[in-house]
Structure 1
């Protein structure tokens, strides 16, 4: 008989809503998680345990976007003080700061960490050469409203953006031209490029949609029980998670859209969810100022989670042995 329950790890420290999350790739020392918060103090944590490593201090407004480069040596932040900053993720020191003319909502590194792209309420995307920070950035214009998310993809040859103008757009990096576009009936709240680069996941209203990244054809689309503020696809494309206005975190089968399970642990709407690079857990950030880590496979020993087994032998002779498993977070 099995008795398993999901016990999330709760990471506190922020004093305002957590609005964005980003993981690094897996490195020799594991992987890392950075959170953006309206308190203006993004935090870096050990990805598998949530242990606090440090806080990047220097912004003078809410931080809306965060990113880690694949090697977890650099962090990037975008904020309401009209600045995007690059940080030494090991020392915690500010390395570069790029002035904008409005709130910076999104930041992302290229795969080789040589470039930083930003999206802002100026309705434009910028690409900065981090090896030549004094050089004017490359500009991508075409959106008619503020930009929510931007990321490199297709071996850094393209950018994909989503905006308050209810569009998702793909841009050719070399020419700066828009090459593909999706129009939504509502503002796309979130956007994620899959680990293999083949699928783009979006949310709008209470709908999660998966698109082929090479031509933006729709793969599948599912209606979920709440307004979905964020969704994330497992690295092996077997399941996806999402969270939104009803305070719950949901897990669904990617092929069928069937709900596998849901958990209510936050005390405010869920603003962001992301799978870890190894797929063993997913993180959620909320209006309640916390981020929580959830196991993908409940009961597996991983990070701070320990699966303990208690063996009870029934008094009767030749009776079966019953194994009760209980997932418990380690202290």
Structure 2
């Protein structure tokens, strides 16, 4: 997974090599690493002021880090491999997901974050095990103003829960395959979901209504909404286990650009030699980053032709 901070000068990456990295987003120079996990790191999130980093890993922990020093501030033990993590607005809480492990079910957890790491408690303030997802929970996110916790599942559904009580508020069947990721626009009024059913869908966050559908011929692992144009970008490819790394064309590993409103594809960017697992626009919209199964994060700066592009029907 890759994650820009709010200003866009920093890019965080986490992968199957146990060590999250921090990079300068303009040059790609590595600033440092966060050493402490003993399993693949599936997800990360950074606080509003880029002071703290959360990482979720297969070693069944979520860890809290000091962004600047790389110091591990706290480790939150989970009931199984930690799949997803997300700061609440205000950075006083976070939500995380643990996979099913042994006789312990897949679960969603909410934790309070103390201002002082010395006073931090390891116990969650809310645990949701009766979530209704068939199979695993693939992600958990906060809706605007922390009104609800939004979860995505391997069953293609999205569910909304009350963050105080854990009560199920709404359930929506959005995809016919596993939802791999959700990304929001800047105001969190729109969300784009990516799925193994070969589509990405644009949703109204308030109503969870599907507004647009972007269709491809391969599983979509990640998608993002441009902050400056009516564009979305999709990344994916064949399942990692069924491809070789000899040809980027055969496996169809390009990033694909669609017009957000007209749903038409207008461009592709090659480069990776494995399925794209994660993709994100820079907050200024003038570049984007992608991370793939080939172990590389690629930074792409748009040229003037793209920045001047004005697609009209």
Q: Normalising by structure 1, what TM-score? A: 0.80
Q: Verify: 1:130 aligned to 2:113, yes or no.
A: yes
Q: Which has the higher strand share?
A: 1
Aligned to 1:4: none
1:169, 1:179 within 8 Å by CA — same for their partners in 2? yes
Gaps of at least 5 residues in structure 1 are: 1-19, 302-331
Which secondary structure does the structure 2 equivalent of 1:60 belong to?
A: coil
Which secondary structure does the structure 2 equivalent of 1:117 belong to?
A: strand
- State the Cα deviation string for residues 163-221 of structure 1 (Å, max 9, x = none): 22332112221232221222231111111122111112112221111111111111111
Q: Verify: 1:106 aligned to 2:106, yes or no.
A: no
Q: Verify: 1:180 aligned to 2:175, yes or no.
A: no
Q: Normalising by structure 2, what TM-score? A: 0.84
Aligned to 1:60: 38
- State the Cα deviation string for residues 26-59 of structure 1 (Å, max 9, x = none): 1xxx531111100111101122332211111100
Gaps of at least 5 residues in structure 2 are: 101-105, 238-251, 308-313
Which secondary structure does the structure 1 equivalent of 2:289 belong to?
A: strand
Query: What is the deviation of 1:237?
Result: 5.4
Aligned to 1:140: 128
2:39, 2:59 within 8 Å by CA — same for their partners in 1? yes
From 115, 129, 152, the equivalent of 2:142 is 152
Query: What is the deviation of 1:226?
Result: 2.6
1:128, 1:136 within 8 Å by CA — same for their partners in 2? yes
From 280, 284, 289, the equivalent of 1:274 is 280
Aligned to 1:169: 159
* Separation of aligned partners in 1, 2:262 and 2:185: 18
Query: What is the deviation of 1:227?
Result: 1.9
Tell me the C-alpha RMSD between the 2 structures.
1.8
* Separation of aligned partners in 1, 2:278 and 2:191: 16
Larger Rg: 1
From 214, 231, 238, the equivalent of 2:230 is 238
Q: Which has the higher helix share?
A: 2
Aligned to 1:21: 2
